[in-house]
Structure 1
Amino acid sequence: MQPSGVGARTLLLSLLLPWPGTGQLSVIGPAHPVIAHVFEEVVFSCRLSPSMDAQGMEVRWFRDHIRFVVHMYQNGQDITDLQRKQYHGRTEFLGENITQGIVGLRLRGIQVSDEGKYGCMFQTLTFFNEAHFPLQVTGTGSTPHIHLEGGEAHGIRLLCTSSGWYPEPRVGWTDSSGQDLLPLSVIKHQMVNGLFRVETIIVLTHSGGNVSCFIHNPLLDIKKEARLSVADNLFPKIPVWKLLLSVAVAVAVLAFFLTGAAFYFWTWHRKKSKLKEKLGR
C-alpha cells in the first residue's frame, strides 16, 4: 500500500528537519571538565537516561557543533566520511555497554589543539538529544635545569630552563628559607605544538645556601623545581692589587679635596687680613 500524501510529507519532513527531544530520554555526559594530558589518551563517556538499548541509534561525538564530527557510529559500524581530518586514526568507539545505553570514545595522542567544548548525541528518526562538556588539555614539563652562566660585576648569573608546559605556567625563584627572589627576566615562549618553554634568569650578589627555580602548573597544581647550592667560591673575588689600587685612588682623591679646601681657606684668610689693614689706615 502506498503511503498517503500526508503520511509521505510527514516522513519527508522527519528526514529533513531536526527531531525535537521527546522529553522522556536525556543524554548524560561527564559531570566535570575532562582533563587530558598531552601525548596521552582520554576516554569520554555518555549514557542515556533512563537506560535503553542504543544499538539502533546514531551516536555522534562532536566538537562545538554537531557538524564538526569527531567520531560517528551508526548501524553497528563506524562512519568515517564526516570525521574531521585531525581526528583520523585517533578515535575508537567503545560500545561494550551500548545495550544499556552507555557508550564511550577513546581519543589518542592528545594535543593542545584538542582543547575545547565537546558533545555526544544520540539520535533516531523520532528522537535526538545531546550533552556537552569541556576538554581541558594540560602538560607537565621537564624538571627545570639551572645553568651557571658566569660572573657578573657584583654576583653570579643563573639561568633556569624547562619545556613542555601547558597551560602557561608560573615561574619563580626562592631562597633557602622559601622566600621569593626577584628574577632579572622571565621568558615564556609558546612553541608550534602549543606547549610552553620557559627561561628565567637571576643574579645573586651573595651566597645564601640553596637557591631554587620552580615551574608551576596551575591546572593540576603540580610544581617541579631544581635546587643549587650556592657556595662562596662561586662569587667573583677582588684581586689584592685591585683593592690596594682602589684604596690608593680613594686616598689621593681625598687628599686632593683636602688640599683644595686648605688652599681656599688660606686664600680667603689672606684677603681678609689685607682688607683689615687697608681699613685700619
Structure 2
Amino acid sequence: MRSMKDRLLLVFYHDVILLLLTWHCGGQSQMIGPTQPLVAITGDDIILPCQLDPARDAVDLTVEWSRHDLKPRFVHLKRDDAEPVTQNILYSRRTSLSVNKLKCGDISLKLSKAQVSDAGMYNCLVPEIGAETGMELVVGSVSSVVMEISKVENVIFFKCKSNGWYPEPRVFWLNSQGNQITAESTNSAKGSDGLYTVSSTVTVNKRQTYSLTCRVQQKNINQTEEAHIHVSGDFYLVQCNPAVPITINLAVCLISIGTTALLIWKCGQKKTKISKHDEDENELHQTEMKEKLQRECEGKKRLEDELQNNEEDLKHVRRTIEKLMEQKTSLKDQREKLNTLLQEDKAEMKEVMKKLEKENSIHDKEKKMQKRGDKKNDLEKRTEVHEELLKMTEKLMEETENIIIQMTERKGKLEIDKEQIIKHLREKQKNERDLEETVRETSERH
C-alpha cells in the first residue's frame, strides 16, 4: 500500500497538470493566414485561408471578414450563426463559411465567381479572442490572342490583339527559333470595365518565309496566351522582269538591220563586171556580212536566254497560283466551319435565352438563373471569338483572291511575251541561215 506521503504527492502532481492544461486551453489564440498574395482568375471560386491556433470551436464566435477600402467594409459577417448583415453589396450571395470547418477553428472564407473588383487587402478577425490576420488577393482576367495579316506594297504587317486582361499584360514577338524580336508598335488601353486591351505590330519584307509567335503574358497572375502564324515566301507576288520587253525591242532592231544589209548585198551581186576595186569591195562586204552574222548569232543567244528566263518565271507563277488556290480552298473550308460554329453558338444562345425567360416567368431559383446567365456570357464570348476568326478568314480569302487575279494576269502576260520571243527567235534563225548561205556563196565566187 502506498503511504500517505505518496498519495499527497500524486494529488499535487495531478492538480499541477490540470492547472497547466487549463491555462493552455484558455490562453490567447492566434490567427494563421497566408504569407504570399493569393491569385484568382475572374469567374473562379477561391478560398481565403484563415485558421485559429490553437484550434478551437468557432461556431459560436463572431467572425468578421472586411476590406478597409470599402464602405461598408464588411465582406462577410457572422454573429451567433445568423445570416450576414451590413454586408457590402459587391459580395452579396458570393461569400460563405463552412460550419464543419468552424468546429475545428477553420474560419476560411469561400468567395465565389471572382471579379476584378475583388482584388485588395482582406482582414480576418474574431473579436472575442482578439485574433486577427490580413492577406492580399490578386484577381486577374485572361483572353485569347487574335492575329491579322495585311500588305502594303513591299511590306507585310503582322498584328496581334487581345481584349480583356487584368492586370495590364506585356506583349512579346518570337521568331521560329524562339528568340524575341522588336515590334514596330505596341499599345495598351484600359476600358470602362477596368480590363486592358493590348495590340502589337511587326513588319517584314517580301520574298521571305516567316514563322511568328505573339505572346501576351501577365507574370503577377502567372498567365500566358499565344498565337502562331506561318507565311510562306510563295505568298508574295513575283516582280516583273523589265529585261523582257527591252530584249524583244533589241531583237527587232537587229532583225531589221540584218534584213536591210542582206538586201543591199544581194543587189550588189547583180553587177556583172568585177574589177580589182570591186573585189576589194566584195571582200570588205564579205567581212561586214560575217560581222553581221556574228551579231545575229549574239542576238539569237540573247533571245534564247530570255526565253529560258521567261519559262522559269512562268513555271514559278503557275506553281504559285496552284498554292494560292490550295490556300483559297483551305480558307473556304475554314470559313464554312466557322459559319457552322456560329450557327451552333446562335442556336445554343437562343435555347439559353428561352430557358432564362421561362425561369423568369415561373420564378425559378436564382442560382439556376445565375448559372444560365454565366453560360450565356460564355456563349457570347465564344461567338465573339468565332466572329473575329471568320472576319479574319474572309479578309485573307479576299487578299488571296486578289493575288490570284494579279498572278493570273502576270501569267497571261508572260505567255504572250513567250510567244513573241519564239516568233522573233525563229526569224533570227532564218536570217542566220540566209546570211550563212550568202557568205558561203561569196567565198566560193572568190
TM-score, normalized by length of structure 2? 0.46
Q: CA deviation at 1:244?
A: 7.8
Contact 2:40 2:221 in 1 (8 A): no
The 2-side partners of 1:203 and 1:30 are apart by 46
More strand by share: 1
Partner of 2:236: 235
Contact 2:166 2:195 in 1 (8 A): yes
The 2-side partners of 1:86 and 1:95 are apart by 23
1:138 corresponds, among 134, 137, 140, to: 140
Matches within 5 A, 1:125-274: 127-142=129-144, 144-149=145-150, 151-206=151-206, 207-240=208-241
The 1-side partners of 2:112 and 2:243 are apart by 64
The 1-side partners of 2:95 and 2:78 are apart by 11
- Partner of 2:93: helix, strand, or coil? coil
| Letter of the 1:209 counterpart | Y
Contact 1:37 1:137 in 2 (8 A): yes
2:67 corresponds, among 63, 86, 97, to: 63
Go from structure 1 to structure 2 and tell me whether the alpha carbon gap of 1:154 and 1:65 turns closer, same or farther (over 3 Å shift). closer
The 2-side partners of 1:242 and 1:138 are apart by 60
- Partner of 1:86: helix, strand, or coil? helix
Partner of 1:77: 82
Contact 1:156 1:234 in 2 (8 A): no
The percent of aligned pairs where both chains have the same amino acid is: 26
The 2-side partners of 1:201 and 1:177 are apart by 19
Q: CA deviation at 1:209?
A: 3.4
- Partner of 1:131: helix, strand, or coil? strand
The 1-side partners of 2:169 and 2:47 are apart by 25
Return 5+ residue gaps in structure 2 as ranges: 1-25, 247-446
Task: Kindly indicate whether structure 1 or structure 2 has the higher relative contact order, using CA contacts under 8 Å at least 6 residues apart.
Answer: 1
The 1-side partners of 2:103 and 2:174 are apart by 57
Go from structure 1 to structure 2 and tell me whether the alpha carbon gap of 1:120 and 1:240 turns closer, same or farther (over 3 Å shift). same
Where do 4+ consecutive residues of structure 1 move more than 4 Å? Answer: 241-245
Partner of 1:41: 45
Contact 1:167 1:218 in 2 (8 A): no
Deviations along 1:214-257, one digit per CA (max 9) or x if unpaired, are: 11121244432222112113334433459989xxxxxxxxxxxx
Go from structure 1 to structure 2 and tell me whether the alpha carbon gap of 1:242 and 1:72 turns closer, same or farther (over 3 Å shift). farther
Larger radius of gyration: 2
The 1-side partners of 2:37 and 2:121 are apart by 9
- Partner of 1:51: helix, strand, or coil? coil
TM-score, normalized by length of structure 1? 0.70
More helix by share: 2
Deviations along 1:174-213, one digit per CA (max 9) or x if unpaired, are: 2112222221211112223322222111111142431111
Contact 1:161 1:200 in 2 (8 A): yes
The 1-side partners of 2:212 and 2:101 are apart by 54
Contact 1:112 1:193 in 2 (8 A): no
